[in-house]
Amino acid sequence: AQKITQTQPGMFVQEKEAVTLDCTYDTSDPSYGLFWYKQPSSGEMIFLIYQGSYDQQNATEGRYSLNFQKARKSANLVISASQLGDSAMYFCAMREVNTGGFKTIFGAGTRLFVKA
């Protein structure tokens, strides 16, 4: 069964520094997608970045990068040069292509606090 684990309930980072949010996953499907979403206090879910299981390169989107270690089944989000506006909940998610149907499952989330 597919599973996503985020072990950091809360993280603090100083403004302008980089921070890594951890995510591990479990799946028996060789084809899957990994996603990160940001949820500000207003509640909307914002898609940040995606990594496919067959992608050789780590995904990057602006200040966001995904550190994909397939053998360790980890997909950590790295935010460089943190900004105050990065304070939010961050969710790791996974979608199995073959066995999961159309379902995307989410981890419990990590709350990030950026300090000025």
Partner 1 sequence: SQTIHQWPATLVQPVGSPLSLECTVEGTSNPNLYWYRQAAGRGLQLLFYSVGIGQISSEVPQNLSASRPQDRQFILSSKKLLLSDSGFYLCAWSQDRGYSPLHFGNGTRLTVT
Q: Confirm or reject binding of residue 91 to partner 1 (CB under 8 A).
A: yes
Q: Which stretch binds partner 1 (CB under 8 A): 59-67, 68-76, 77-85, 103-111?
A: 103-111
Handedness of CA 99, 35, 56, 2 (dihedral sign): negative
- For the chain, how many residues are written? 116
| Maximum distance among all Cα pairs of the chain, rounded to whole angstroms | 45
**Contact residue for partner 1 among 31, 58, 67, 74 (CB under 8 A):** 31
Q: Confirm or reject binding of residue 45 to partner 1 (CB under 8 A).
A: yes
**Contact residue for partner 1 among 16, 70, 103, 115 (CB under 8 A):** 103
Can you give the binding site for partner 1, defined by CB under 8 A? 31, 33, 35, 37, 42-47, 50, 52, 91, 93, 95, 97-98, 101-109
